[in-house]
Structure 1
Amino acid sequence: MFKHIKPFALIILAAIFLTGCLNGSPEEKIFKILEEVVVKENGFKEQQTPLVDLEKKESDIYSQIIKLGIKDYDKIVSLSNEALQNIDKREEHIKKEHDSIGEAEKEFKKIEELIKDIEKEDARNKAIKLNNTMKERFKVHEILYKAYLESLKKDRELYGLFKQKDLRMEDLQKKIDEVNQTYDKVIKENDKFNKLTEEYNKEKMEFYKSAGLKVS
């Protein structure tokens, strides 16, 4: 049942050397904003390892539960309660991640008013492209966040079922199917988010190069 979600891709920070002629230019101002976005997403980055660890732990708990029979009811209840506590922790981490992305989005929006002031057409077009990619990335993350919360809701319902002595197998299977459907959506949106992150990182470097910002 429980599907492992691969870690989200992260925005990269560039080590840069600014050319003197760009001092105070729109390109340099955009650069500073984009690198501040990376800093804002540090909170997002910090949630990845604990989230993965908690997901693995819950997968293990689920595996233990399905191997038990009705005679092990007390153990099933104990494990289910442990899983529910695990879900609460996952929700705390995913909300912190969401807050971090929200702060990054606010910072990123500052570049829009600067793009039109870029004189070099190629650099301006690359800035427009990365702006569109990042906006789509933020949109997908919001969808991903809501899908993840829905998966946590279904997980809670599942472990609540496990604690019922008169649980019917058809009810259990129905709930497991619902949980799987929510995780399918999470995995789908997660893949979209990671792809957009990789595209954005590439486009950001292309913009820096076109704008004359030396990066390494």
Structure 2
Amino acid sequence: MVLSFVLSGCNTGPTPEEEIYETLEEVVNLETSFKEQQNPLVELEKKEKELYDQIISLGMKEFDKIVALSEEALAIVEERETRLNEENASIEASKEKFNLVKDYIANLEDEKLSEDANQLIELMENRYSSYSTLYSNYLEAIGHDKKLYTMFQSEDLTLEQLEEQIKNINESYEKVIAANEEFNNFTEQYNESKLAFYENAGLEVVYKD
């Protein structure tokens, strides 16, 4: 997650450094919804996995139960998609706010500080780009999940078809995992760079839990 900081000892009139600080911390606030989706998404994934395990343990003689469990799993997948879209909307809002930082950088008098700020922008833009990839990959994986649970509701489903769809799902989530790792790496680098910028700008900040 993007770290939040509190500024102490502000001057009466905001400096460009303080305007950058204010904007960056507003960006954190706009990602609150993103943060709030994390644990529920993990819990939904666990519930879905439990349902999947139940489904594949059943034989065709229990087809009615397979259908019922599949419908329950589909509902969970749709809830995951809803939460994912809320997460994405939060990131898009923070991205729009973050773009304002560029205007304040032009007012920085310290050349080194300006370079630090531009590096901060580059890291955050890389972070947004990696999230876009993560979001797209996750949506693709969710699409494969939906197809799987729909397939489970067909009595004509063959083992070959099932194996092929599971292969598609596994490949999709491999891409999700890779994109998520890249996103987390950029987030960590951004947090470190942001704190360094605050310190170099002489801003007295403390981490806000």
Say yes or no: TM over 0.5.
yes
Q: 1:116 Cα deviation (Å)?
A: 2.2
Choose from 61, 78, 86 the match for 2:76: 86
| Deviation digits for residues 165-212 of structure 1 (CA, Å, limit 9, x no counterpart) | 121101100000001111111111011111111111110000000000
Q: Tell me the TM-score normalised to structure 2 length.
A: 0.95
Alignment-derived partner of residue 61 in structure 2: 71
Choose from 3, 8, 23 the match for 1:17: 8
Give me the identity figure in percent. Answer: 41
Matches for 1:18-167 after TM superposition, within 5 Å: 18=9, 20=11, 23-167=13-157
Could you tell me whether the CA contact under 8 Å between 1:33 and 1:111 is conserved in 2?
A: yes
Question: What is the CA–CA distance in structure 1 between the aligned matches of 2:192 and 2:53, rounded to whole Å?
Answer: 40
Q: 1:16 Cα deviation (Å)?
A: 2.1
Residues paired across the two proteins, number: 206
Structure 2 gap segments, 5+ residues each: none
| Deviation digits for residues 25-62 of structure 1 (CA, Å, limit 9, x no counterpart) | 11110000000001100111111111111011101111
SS in 2 for 1:165: coil
Could you tell me whether the CA contact under 8 Å between 1:122 and 1:210 is conserved in 2?
A: no
Any runs of at least 4 consecutive aligned residues in structure 1 with deviations exceeding 3 A, and if so which? Answer: none
| Deviation digits for residues 134-153 of structure 1 (CA, Å, limit 9, x no counterpart) | 01111111111111111111
Question: What is the CA–CA distance in structure 1 between the aligned matches of 2:125 and 2:156, rounded to whole Å?
Answer: 49
Question: What is the CA–CA distance in structure 2 between the aligned matches of 1:101 and 1:116, rounded to whole Å?
Answer: 25
Amino acid in structure 2 at the alignment position of 1:12: L
| Deviation digits for residues 116-146 of structure 1 (CA, Å, limit 9, x no counterpart) | 2211122211111110000111111111111
Question: What is the CA–CA distance in structure 1 between the aligned matches of 2:9 and 2:15, rounded to whole Å?
Answer: 11
Structure 1 gap segments, 5+ residues each: 1-9
Residue 205 (structure 1) aligned with residue 176 (structure 2) = no
Alignment-derived partner of residue 3 in structure 1: none
Question: What is the CA–CA distance in structure 2 between the aligned matches of 1:113 and 1:19, rounded to whole Å?
Answer: 21
Q: Tell me the TM-score normalised to structure 1 length.
A: 0.92
